[in-house]
Structure 1
């Protein structure tokens, strides 16, 4: 496989009409064994198509295939970088199945190293906040002091989905925030004033 050319061809999918674009995404997902070296580009093209094409059947089918790769512990999903892009593709639409899988992934080890990936945990946290999974955010806010700095910043942004609970919590930890956390806090606060704001993931 000519990797550079394949990347360019995958990137060109965004210029296709919806129906052939959907068919092309299905074809990519059917050939992941061959396309494993360009898995991030495949998932980027998939996420782009999911965002651009308003077709619930298409989204449901694509998400089911991605979840199956993760749940079946495919070697493709055992690479942290690939898993990160797969998680972001699932972020395109809420479903109960996606919620349960992401919560399980947050608590699990990732990749061949059997350690937790902070970038993956960060993305999952922000996705669940965008989906307004308040019960989960409320549960983990008590671990804020022991979180990795990246997760602390993600949780500061995510806390705005907790409404009054989030405001009281932020007031309680404000004095303990580092300089960078304060910047994130102020930035997220200004963005959260816009109705419908979602954390970029």
Structure 2
């Protein structure tokens, strides 16, 4: 019995040390050496202070900023732990709304969001990513069309010309990966930081 138990325990300990300790530490070390910024969370700094990550969206509500994609993430209600409250871009609770295309609640929310967007930019069709949440609820990017749709509102709030803002947006567009994967996109946090750098000329 001990002759069979000893090799099994040795193998268990060896594999646990190898796959549960040595391998993760080696991969973390290699990633930190080759891609230090990405391994640290793709953090974005301004004036030496971390203001966010390029991988996780943030909630911008002021008319002076470009708004990101809606987020369906929630957090526990401090008054009642059995309930949740909306908590946009809550990375600790990444998820979609789980509402399907036939959901009346989803249809009503999207309809209200479309009406609000049309009020700020009458006569133009509302890009779909301005009124629908991503599957993770953390999407940091928007399509160039969704960002350009917001230019008139930001232009008015900041007293900046629309042409200047369009130029800023175009400079922030990231192309498809390797020219074929994904879609052109704009990171909303990076765009808003660049926007703050413009001043109000």
Which bin holds the TM-score, normalised by the shorter protein? under 0.3
Per the normalisation by structure 1, the TM-score is 0.24
Question: Hey, which of these two has a bigger chunk of strand by percent?
Answer: 2
Per the normalisation by structure 2, the TM-score is 0.24
Which structure exhibits the higher relative contact order, with contacts defined as CA atoms closer than 8 Å and separated by 6 or more residues?
2
Question: Hey, which of these two has a bigger chunk of helix by percent?
Answer: 1
Q: Which has the higher Rg, Structure 1 or Structure 2?
A: 2
